[in-house]
Amino acid sequence: MKKRNSWLIACLLGLGVFLYACKPSDAKLQKEVNDKLATTTPGVIAEVKGGVATLSGEVMDDATKSAAETTAKEVKGIKSVVNNVMTTPPPPPPPPVVVSPDDMLKTSVDSALNAHSISGVTATIANGEVTLTGTIKKADLKKVMQAAAEAKPKKINNKLTIQ
C-alpha cells in the first residue's frame, strides 16, 4: 500500500510539473502582448505577472484605450487585463489671430498717404473713424482726403491745419 501511495504521489508531482511547464511564461506572454500592441496601439506597453497584463501609456481617446485592452485579452494565456492607459486628447488649436479692424484701417490709411507722397499728416483711428491731424498746403487737401477715403473708413474727421 505504501508503495502504491508513493507511486501515486510521484505521478501527481510529475503531472503537476508537466502542466506547469506547459503554461506560457510571463515573459513570453509579455513579449507577445507588446508585439501586438506595437502594431495596433503604439504608445501602450504591457507588463505581465501571473498571467495578468497591466497596460500603461498614453493614447488620444477612449476608443484607442479600449482597443489596447481588447488586443491584450486576445493573447492566449492572458487571464485578465488591468488597463492603466491614460487618455490625453490633443491640445486645443490656438485661438485665431484677431486683427483689430482699426489696425488694418490704420495700415491702409498710412499706405495710401505714403503712396500719394503726403507728409506732415498723422492719421489716428478709433472705432473705424479716421482723424487727420497735421499741417498741409491748401492745394494738397483734396489729395489727403482722397487718400484717407481709399481705406473706406466709417468717417473722416479733418483736424488738419491749412497753410
pLDDT tens per residue across span 27-54: 999 999 999 999 999 999 999 999 999 9
Q: What is the mean pLDDT of the chain?
A: 85
Q: What is the pLDDT of residue 7?
A: 66
Residue 65: closest CA among 44, 48, 79, 49 = 44
Please state which architecture CATH assigns to domain 24-87: 2-Layer Sandwich (3.30)
Is the CA virtual torsion 10, 16, 17, 22 positive or negative?
positive
C-alpha cell at 150: 481709399
Provide the pLDDT for residue 12: 58
Task: List, for residues 47-104, the tens digit of each pLDDT value.
Answer: 999 999 999 999 989 999 999 999 999 999 999 999 999 998 888 888 886 656 888 8
User: 101-162: what fold?
Assistant: Histidine-containing Protein; Chain: A; (3.30.1340)
The two domains 24-87 and 101-162 share their CATH topology (first three levels equal): yes
Instruction: Say whether 116 sits in a helix, a strand or coil.
Output: coil
Measured from the Cβ of residue 91, the count of other Cβ atoms closer than 10 Å reads 6
Q: What ranges do the domains of the chain cover?
A: 24-87, 101-162
